[in-house]
Structure 1
Amino acid sequence: MNDTLVTLVGNVATAPEYRDSVTGGMARFRFAVAARRWDRQKQAWTDGPTSFYTVWAWRTLAANLAGSVSVGEPLVVHGRLKVREEDKDGQRRFSADIEALAVGHDLTRGTSAFKRVTRADASLTGRRKDLVP
């Protein structure tokens, strides 16, 4: 297996977009990750530069994510790192995507209530029953 697995801790930067596809649901959102460091001179925590990732989720994870995650919430995202390269206006640009395997709220920064979803009960994710994978 040559996948590069990563675990990121950060905040939801854009609202998750959910779409149905032939293979099941798909969701994506932008994820902001900033390193926090102790500044000895100021005697305070400061944020370092922010990195942005596009997180992709499929099937059941996509539906559950779309019904559970909002902008600004702290998350832990675990998945496969994919680096894309594209030429735009004669310049090479790189972007990083994460194909999510697991997503959860960061409980060091708040509380969360877990509800198990069954295929017959789409009300828990806010999706219609005929859209739940």
Structure 2
Amino acid sequence: MSGEPIVTLIGHVGADPEIRYVASGTPVCNFSLAVTPRTLNRQTNQWENGATAWYRCTIWREHGEHVAETIQKGMRVIVTGRLTVRTYEHDGAERTALEVAVDEIGPTLRYATAHVTKTTNTNSQAHSQVQGQAGDDYDPWAAQANSPAGSAFDSLPPF
């Protein structure tokens, strides 16, 4: 849906991500993200927590499977995605939930370290059709160096 605000949130995962499969077999991963603002009280010189906002995060397909295998309860993560507001009824009362359709997610490295392992593409035929290269070995930076002037790679940053 167009017009949804793009947000970047930093918070803690509230529970281990849950992976489910819809009727078509497509995986979908869900988890809750707690975002608590901290401010410095200048009178006491102490950090104080504000009200915690909870966001329901959803990630589809292989990306969701990667998240379910990697992210755990309590991890501090950074999430970027499209923010939506959903209204529903629970026990006769109308409630509102903030949800994020996740585009990117990863652990924050302020208080932790991470080891990244590249996954192989299980859908290499579709990947090669989209990228014009051979599946898992596709390197967009090498392709940029070998591409003719005026190609789609001209808009990529040089770093």
TM class, shorter-chain normalised? 0.7 to 0.9
User: Could you list the per-position Cα deviations for residues 68-99 of structure 1 after superposition, in whole angstroms to 9, with x for gaps in the alignment?
Assistant: 00110000010111101123344321111111
Corresponding residue to 1:50 among 49, 52, 59: 52
Aligned equivalents of 1:91, 1:68: Cα separation in 2:
36
Question: 1:46, CA displacement in angstroms?
Answer: 1.5
Distance 1:107 1:63, change over 3 A: same
Q: Could you say which residue in structure 2 is the equivalent of 1:113? A: 115
8 Å CA contact retained: 1:23, 1:59: no
Poorly superposed stretches of 4+, deviation over 4 Å = none
8 Å CA contact retained: 1:6, 1:78: yes
Secondary structure of 1:53 counterpart = strand
Percent identity, aligned pairs only? 29
Larger Cα Rg: Structure 1 or Structure 2?
2
Matches within 5 A, 1:1-133: 1-21=2-22, 22=24, 24-119=26-121
Aligned equivalents of 1:65, 1:88: Cα separation in 2:
29
Structure 1 or 2: larger helix share? 2
Aligned equivalents of 2:120, 2:112: Cα separation in 1:
26
- Which runs of 5 or more residues in structure 2 are unaligned? 123-159
* Greater relative CO (CA pairs within 8 A, separation 6+): 1
Q: Over the residues paired in the alignment, what is the CA RMSD in angstroms? A: 1.4
Q: Could you say which residue in structure 1 is the equivalent of 2:155? A: none
User: Could you list the per-position Cα deviations for residues 19-45 of structure 1 after superposition, in whole angstroms to 9, with x for gaps in the alignment?
Assistant: 123262110011100001011122121
Aligned equivalents of 1:55, 1:89: Cα separation in 2:
23
Aligned equivalents of 1:24, 1:119: Cα separation in 2:
16
Question: 1:17, CA displacement in angstroms?
Answer: 0.4
Aligned residues: 120
